[in-house]
Amino acid sequence: MEKNVVVIYASKYGATAEIAKKIGEVLCQAGLQADVVSADQVRNVSEYRAVVLGSALYVGKWQKGAETFLRANEKSLADRPVWLFSSGPTGEGYPVQLVEGQRLPAALQPVVDRIRPRDIAVFHGNINPDKLSFIEKFAIKSIVKKPFGDFRDWEMIVTWANQIAHNLKEAERA
């Protein structure tokens, strides 16, 4: 039996994992079966009808686990509905503007073009200074100049996940 959805994530400090778990909860509340799994623990998506894949975004790059998964599973992903998300920008404002319109790392664009995802979202992130090394704190303050704190917009995340659920349920009915 084919399962409904797998929500796959790569997270450095846990904030993106929390977003993935929330997406999984919303999909389950909508009556879908959703597994939430770290990118480095997924080997095969063939048993799933749809895939949601997300990664923390650092200095314009996805986490290695998500990038490796995307490249290794390109053919399987192209055969099913896929939604992608990046998390990371902090500060006030629309998250896509905070990443200068770049929804995904440019290096992944050719693969993503072949997969043809249904949507690509960018969510605000959470930079918790207690989890960072001295060097990371310095880089964020001095070079990247991003504010510390939790800027995740849970309402935006829930709305996006509900749209995924709606699309999948419509496809089931068709």
- Give the model confidence (pLDDT) of 149-173 as tens digits: 788 999 999 999 999 999 999 887 7
Q: Encode pLDDT of 17-63 as tens digits.
A: 999 999 999 999 999 999 999 999 998 899 999 999 999 988 788 99
Residue-level pLDDT at 159: 97
Confidence of residue 65 (pLDDT cuts 50, 70, 90): very high
Determine what percent of the chain is predicted with pLDDT higher than 90.
60
Residue-level pLDDT at 18: 96
Residue 124, pLDDT > 50, answer yes
Residue ranges per structural domain of the chain = 3-173
Residue-level pLDDT at 1: 36
CB 77 within 8 A of CB 102: no
Q: State mean pLDDT over 74-92.
A: 91
Question: Could you write out the DSSP letters of every residue in 137-171?
Answer: HHIIIIII----EE---HHHHHHHHHHHHHHHHHH
Give the pairing of strands 48-58 and 3-10. parallel
- Report residue 10: phi and psi, to 5°: -130, 125
Of 4 and 164, more confident = 164
The CATH topology of domain 3-173 is Rossmann fold (3.40.50)
Nearest to 24 by CA among 105, 85, 94: 85
Q: State mean pLDDT over 74-80.
A: 96
Q: State mean pLDDT over 96-113.
A: 84
Q: State mean pLDDT over 67-78.
A: 95
Residue 89, pLDDT > 80, answer no
Q: State mean pLDDT over 116-143.
A: 80
Residue 140, pLDDT > 70, answer no
Q: Give me the chain's average pLDDT, please.
A: 88
Tokens matching residue 4? 């409904």
Residue-level pLDDT at 146: 72
